[in-house]
Amino acid sequence: MALTLTRPDDFHLHLRDGDVLADLVPPVAERFSRALVMPNLTPPVTTVAAAGEYRERILAATPAGVDFTPLMTLYLTETMAASEIKKATASDFIHAAKLYPAGATTNSSAGVRDVGAITHLFEAMQDAGLVLAIHGELANPSLDPYEREPRFVDEVLAPLVERFASLRIVLEHVSTQHAVDFVTQAGPNVAATITAHHLLCSRRALFAGGLSPHHYCRPILQTEADREALIAAATSGNPKFFLGSDSAPHPRDKKESGHAAAGIYTGYAALELYAQAFAEAGALGRLENFASRFGADFYGLEPNSAEVTLEETSWQPPAEYPLGQQTVVPLGAGESLRYRLRP
């Protein structure tokens, strides 16, 4: 059986920078029409000028003849001026600004320690209509890692939504029932992305057959009940929930280390991985809206017109993919995937 759908968009993606772009951009551009590219480089992308240059490097790594548009983001800091938000909105390539609580995840040390310190930026974004994308975890090291998202939702997100009632907010990579419930009951200005790995795996995967650093990401994989809540949300037809892969490759030696880096690589076959999760839930018919429609609607973008086709055929991803001079281990290495992109 083959499944044809409108070319999808990925509303949360890490492409990194430098020579690895040549490895990371092509498989994404083959599957997705657009991708919202995260700004957590070193140094982070904190200016419109830097985002524009980064965009050029991504386009230079896009295979000729492939229709792919990178949607750029700004990394919010406590020292950013509101004028940068105005500049971002006036550009035609910046589509969101990203809030990283300082210390919450990879390359977040330049992020925000106190959201009270960037009220001027939230106001500017609300006025200008720029989307706020949020990494929704408290970063306090004394907190239980499994509590970071629920506590962020209650202590930071809920008051923010209340105070900035018309700010468009995307809670990125929701991982818990609690976050799903919050987004569901909030107004239409609050939405969420869901990753393929949070749909396919619970925290069991972290411990299956020995501790697996390749299943370690932020927010961390949660319980089976949480995973089921994410499946229910993704397949519900509720337009608040849409595709954001959070494909976040790290070199093999940074993962297989005493302190594994957080991030799971799915970009080599992200659409196939989502199709697998939807098929397992008996909801393949709901994939197209989740992958190709709801995100574009929320971001105020035209829907895509081209199509992609997935074939139902079992295949095994390689044990690793090239990542510049190094390699990255993909989610699904050593397993069978059920769908394959028709070239």
Q: Which residues bind ligand NCD (CB under 6 A)?
A: 14, 40, 105-106, 135, 217-218, 246, 248, 262-263
Q: φ and ψ at 133, to 5 degrees?
A: -100, 130
Say which entry of ligand NCD, Zn ion, none residue 178 contacts (CB below 5 to 8 A, set by partner kind): none
Q: Which of 121, 125, 122, 104 is nearest to 113 (CA)?
A: 104
**Nearest position to Zn ion, beta carbon:** 246
Is 149 a residue that touches Zn ion (CB under 5 A)? no
Sheet holding 337-341, edge to edge: 2-6, 307-315, 337-341
Identify whether the C-beta of residue 98 lies closer than 8 Å to the C-beta of residue 38: yes
Smallest gap from residue 104 Cβ to ligand NCD (A): 7
Q: In sequence order, what are the beta bridge partners of 38?
A: none
- Residue closer to Zn ion by CB (options 102, 128) is 102
Smallest gap from residue 237 Cβ to ligand NCD (A): 26
Say which entry of Zn ion, ligand NCD, none residue 217 contacts (CB below 5 to 8 A, set by partner kind): ligand NCD
Q: Which residues, at least 6 apart from 65, have a Cβ–Cβ distance to it below 8 Å?
A: none
Residue 246 is a catalytic residue: yes
Gyration radius from the chain CA atoms: 18
Q: φ and ψ at 234, to 5 degrees?
A: -65, -35
- Residue closer to Zn ion by CB (options 23, 246) is 246
- Residue closer to ligand NCD by CB (options 125, 217) is 217
Q: Which of 77, 173, 162, 91 is nearest to 130 (CA)?
A: 91
- How many CB atoms within 10 Å of residue 315? 13
Among 23, 246, 253, 297, which one carries the catalytic annotation?
Answer: 246
Site string for Zn ion, 232-251 (x = CB under 5 A): --------------x-----
- Residue closer to Zn ion by CB (options 10, 246) is 246
Say which entry of Zn ion, ligand NCD, none residue 105 contacts (CB below 5 to 8 A, set by partner kind): ligand NCD
Smallest gap from residue 241 Cβ to ligand NCD (A): 17
CA–CA dist 170, 241 (Å, integer)? 9
Active site residues: 246
Q: Which residues bind Zn ion (CB under 5 A)?
A: 246
